[in-house]
A and B are shown apart, each in its own frame.
Chain A
């Protein structure tokens, strides 16, 4: 009797196993790979990137202090450099819209552009800005600082004199930087607890870390990178071009640098930077039909990156003078979207967890 129960259980286990490997989920080998990937993401990407960003934001706060004490050209330049450094390190963090960051609308508070300058001015006049009110999401974070450090007047001289004459402007810089830190600290802290559940969440379900983070990565590529930095300002979703929608509009000369940094973040995340990430995982589980996919994605990234490199440092000027080059770049980036969203997700058997509004 015992023997018979054993044999029937054995049949059952065998069948569960064979049907699981079809759906590419529950076998322990796949679990281990996913866990290794998640561990790499947490320990070598997410947590250190947040640490770097925090340091840069603290440097930014220190530079703002120095500028407050002595409002001269040199200190303005230092403040701006700290701003640019922090903005560059932000490019590595924006894609991690998961956990507390997602719950607190972190990325919306940090980088919605174009910023609403009129709202910033109004907040300065009124004081007591409620930064948690979503109406103020476009009046804080990096784009608001971009306005305050480059856009409130037409020359550096006038900007400095504005800060000399109206202390409310100075304190608003502070408030915004402080808010950015207050937004960031709890997330950094939360990751100490969140790390273990994050790396252990390997099932193929809509809420598992693997599925959510992979979707976040693709969403960032499609929306944060492709649409926001290229498509929207180049007019892909409107009739004419909208160059005033480039990232860092008031300091347009860094728009390309920010985009390239963002692309570095995308490539590193995909490649794993020495550890296991999507590239290795695709190679491991891909069928014959997609045997070249992991390198196809890399090749497409390189094609797109070469096109970005050919653009003017200043995307605003590039769009005004020769928008076709931006549209061509957008198309090359879009080819990457297809590989990631259609082919990669198909190989990984992960459903997309977001839909595009189609207006119908």
Chain B
């Protein structure tokens, strides 16, 4: 007689966990060693749209380093035309729905129209002021070129001393790649919207595809980091411990942080494993586990921005003290972009490590004119930018 209520209890608990009483028992899978998942013998991984955008970014980067680029040509590459990508030399990148600009500062969580517009303005400033003065000597108020004392490096800067391709691309690391991963594709706003939970629970696949919508969205997040990795079948190739993707965006600095002698060797494996475990959790319909993995990815990838914002601020000071003004402008331009990117970080609780308002107060005051920078704004103990960024990360960054 006591057994009956106990049976009811366990039955009720099961139905609690599962929302849907009729759910059949799902066979669960173990997390694989590599990011490979199959359904009926067919791979369910797809992130070609991300690879396309990353490749578009490479061409755009080159164009922002060419005196021959025009405002309309750059705008075409960045924003496309009538919802279709255009303007790339590699024709495979044209005529697609993949447009970098439409994914710049565009997440629900941290997107901003004014921040997106800054990128449009960098293009305008570059095409109207920098490109026409390519071979002029730069000076305060005067765009042009600046060369390092050893003659080894020449950079083109705008009237306030900023190297625009660096502002643009280091800004894009946060506003585009990081934002799309941590604030969009691995976030419930994207993964759980519409009927995606129900569909994933009952194995409803995307139209004509071997994957569920939720699986695919997670893969797209993965693709914004790993979308330019080489041939994964090469013997000894270890994407986890030694990520090696090409390109000029988040992966470029993720590799550096992970490298031997980098700021946090091992971060590569941590992030890769979290992507695998999160994707496994989706297959197993374990959304709490998925969220826990998303938190890991959000925190770890966000650190890359913090490390390199500080790295280039430090580097700026070093270059100034060494009398290498050209390199100082270059480093500060990189720092500027990484600081811009800080507003797109995610601390695992859907908050950035540094708010848009705080980011902009740095950029618009201390870094508004690179010809007039007060070093104390950067290095002052406690109140300088470097210490403020460290504190924003709760002093979790392993960097001086």
Contacts and interface: CB of A to CB of B under 8 A. Distances in A.
A331 B192 contact: no
Given A239-B78, A239-B101, A327-B114, A15 B13 contact: yes
Given A4-B1, A11-B9, A239-B80, A334 B112 contact: yes
B12 interface: yes
Interface residues on B, range: 35 or more
B114 A324 contact: yes
B220 interface: yes
A359 interface: yes
Given A11-B8, A234-B113, A360 B98 contact: yes
Interface in B177-204: 189-190, 192-198
A8 interface: yes
Interface in A66-86: none
A4 B49 CA distance: 62
A240 B75 CA distance: 9
A287 interface: no
Size category of the A interface is 35 or more
Most buried by B among A8, A22, A23, A342: A8
Contacts, number: 95
Contact of B114 (A4, A331, A338): A331
B294 to A, nearest CB: 14
Contacts of B8: 8, 11-12, 15
Given A8-B4, A240-B75, A15 B114 contact: no
Nearest to B49: A360
Contacts of A240: 75, 79, 120
A185 interface: no
B108 A19 contact: no
B248 interface: no
A334 B97 CA distance: 24
Given A15-B13, A327-B113, A355 B98 contact: no
B193 A355 contact: yes
Given A359-B102, A360-B98, A15 B9 contact: yes
B111 interface: yes
Interface in A322-360: 323-324, 327-328, 330-331, 334, 337-338, 341-342, 351-356, 358-360
Given A7-B5, A8-B4, A359-B102, A342 B189 contact: yes
Given A231-B113, A351-B195, 8 more contacts: A12-B5, A331-B113, A334-B111, A338-B108, A351-B197, A356-B193, A359-B49, A360-B50
22 contacts: A15-B8, A15-B9, A19-B12, A19-B16, A206-B195, A236-B116, A239-B75, A239-B78, A324-B117, A327-B114, A331-B113, A334-B111, A342-B109, A351-B192, A351-B197, A353-B195, A355-B194, A358-B220, A359-B98, A359-B99, A360-B97, A360-B220
Interface of A: 4, 7-8, 11-12, 15-16, 19, 22-23, 206, 231, 234, 236-240, 323-324, 327-328, 330-331, 334, 337-338, 341-342, 351-356, 358-360
Interface of B: 1, 4-5, 8-9, 12-13, 15-16, 19, 49-50, 75-76, 78-80, 97-99, 101-102, 108-109, 111-114, 116-117, 120, 189-190, 192-198, 220, 350
